[in-house]
Amino acid sequence: MSRPTVFISGAAAGIGRATAHAFARLGYHVGAFDIDEPGLGLLRDEIEAIGGSVRVGLLNVTDAAQWDSALAQFHADEQRLDVLINNAGVLASGRFEEMDIATHRRMVDINVNGVVNGSRAAFGYLRETPSAQLVNLCSASAIYGQPELATYSATKFAVRGLTEALDLEWRPYDIRVIAVWPMFVRTAMVDGMDTGTTRSLGIHLTAEDVADGIVDAVGHRPRLLRKVHYPIGRQAKAFANLAKFSPDWATRLTNKRMSHT
């Protein structure tokens, strides 16, 4: 019998790298794809050293043709795609009007278009694999728009909406679509970042924390109520619950105070 498989974008470092290790330890055949070729080489050596199975390859998530090629190569290994994880993303912080337009566009291209490209390219393979899952990396910044992270926050709202829509649209094909919601994570993405919210809350999660959360979410399939969103960490869970049960003005006021705006 073929092994279960997982394809991860942005896998060379940070959350993607930790997630690749986590699934390799569970016996998955891992597809680790990124634009960072040296990082992928190190990851391949690490996974193979523990007896894991991995295919690495270059992938610019903004290029739909590259997605088609990468998934075709990976699917040929085991003839199945159990889990696709849209992990690749970028973050830039600062006042909205002070960031150049190229920075804003890069976040939209990678964080939104990259997820759209990956989801669309994977659909056929997911449909052919029983009980397949699509996992999108969302963010607690999609609970309420974040000052100094305005465009990044907007991209994660887009990911949230896409996830909710596809979970309904693809349910007849036995494809589960979910989003994981971490707060700030100690990776290279937040190096040098200094915003009102990070000063208020700190940065406590590790990439391994998020990887464990992704593994738990993939393994957690409620029998009755279908769960779509999975906050990771105490802070994200607290704010998600606050937004769920509080009026908008209370959520806005809390966000305003945390961000010192």
The residues annotated with a catalytic role in the active site are 152
Composition of the chain by helix, strand, coil, percent to 5: 55, 15, 30
Q: What angle do CA 227, 233, 237 make, to 5 degrees?
A: 55
For the chain, the C-alpha Rg in angstroms (whole number) is: 18
- Closest C-alpha among 152, 183, 178, 155 to residue 165: 178
* Residue 220 near residue 118, CB atoms below 8 Å: no
SS3 193: coil
Distance between CA 159 and CA 115 in Å, rounded?
Answer: 7
